[in-house]
Amino acid sequence: MYISETTVRVRYAETDQMGYVYYGNYALYYEVGRVEALRQLGTSYKEMEDNGIMLPVYECSIKYLKPAVYDDLLVIKTSVKELPTAKICFDYEIYNQKNELLNTASTSLVFIKTAINKPCQAPLAFLEKIKKYF
């Protein structure tokens, strides 16, 4: 299993009238977690795109436990629990600075070969970097 951590501070514009992070903004935090997880592995979305691979989100499931509020420092724990095939599944846990679990989620993304706009297997170079965690 591969696990990555990154932090993000809640900006005022991400909150609603109650001062809570607007529910739709959590998807942005998951993207930050995914992008940084890939970067920490030694690859990136940009590198995959430059090599003709896109990773659109296929599925997203979210459970809201407690609200995040303006100026919270959030820790996004991102994990990959299964070796990717033609899709990759990410699980997320978001904690505040008090180490309170605020949110859990999962997303599934599909590797798409842009030249033909069809699913493909995960790139070999990427698999080489992640397989040591499994």
Of 63, 76, 67, 65, which is closest to residue 17 (Cα–Cα)?
Answer: 67
Q: How much is the mean pLDDT over the chain?
A: 97
Of 81, 83, 82, 35, which is closest to residue 57 (Cα–Cα)?
Answer: 35
* The pLDDT value given to residue 4: 97
Q: Which CATH superfamily is domain 2-133 in?
A: Hotdog Thioesterase (3.10.129.10)
DSSP, collapsed to helix, strand or coil, labels residue 18 as coil
pLDDT in tens, 55-94: 999 999 999 999 999 999 999 999 999 999 999 999 999 9
Mean pLDDT score, 17-22: 94
